[in-house]
């Protein structure tokens, strides 16, 4: 059988939640409002598949550019390129919370 080359390959440890973190997501993370210019950390929540960025952006710091529907446009520096991502708030965390 050929090896799977899916979107979430090699993420078994990266997207595993600790025992006390598993379950439904708290409302405070969903209802958090971000303004353009805010710095955020991309922290993927594996229980929510919608609006999930690629796992290469896990733990990266980005800047909010604008709001697009329920999601946010986030600008992330990836080596020498600047990437524009559309991410839902479930996968974002304020940079000052760390």
Q: Domain with 62 in it: what CATH number?
A: 2.30.30.70
Name the residue range of residue 53's domain: 35-97
For position 67, what pLDDT does the model report? 96
For position 98, what pLDDT does the model report? 56
For position 3, what pLDDT does the model report? 86
Domains: count for the chain: 1
Asked if the structure places residue 21 within a domain, the reply is no
Residue 85 to residues 18, 28, 42, 75, Cα–Cα distance (Å) = 26, 22, 10, 6
Extract the tokens encoding 4.
Answer: 């799977």
For position 35, what pLDDT does the model report? 96
What average pLDDT does range 65-89 have in this prediction? 95
pLDDT in tens, 19-70: 988 888 888 888 999 999 999 999 999 888 898 999 999 999 999 999 999 9
pLDDT in tens, 5-15: 888 888 888 88
The yes-or-no verdict on residue 97 having pLDDT over 70 is: no
Asked if the structure places residue 45 within a domain, the reply is yes
Asked if the structure places residue 80 within a domain, the reply is yes
Q: How far apart are CA 14 and CA 52, in angstroms?
A: 14
């Amino acid at each position: 059988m050929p090896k799977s080359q899916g979107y979430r390959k090699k993420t078994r440890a990266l997207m595993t939640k600790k025992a006390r973190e598993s379950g439904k997501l708290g409302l405070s993370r969903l209802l958090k409002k971000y303004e353009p210019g805010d710095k955020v950390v991309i922290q993927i929540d594996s229980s929510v598949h919608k609006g999930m960025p690629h796992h290469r952006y896990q733990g990266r710091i980005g800047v909010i550019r604008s709001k697009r529907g329920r999601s946010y446009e986030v600008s992330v520096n990836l080596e020498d390129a600047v990437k524009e991502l559309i991410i839902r708030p479930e996968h974002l965390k304020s940079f000052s919370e760390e």
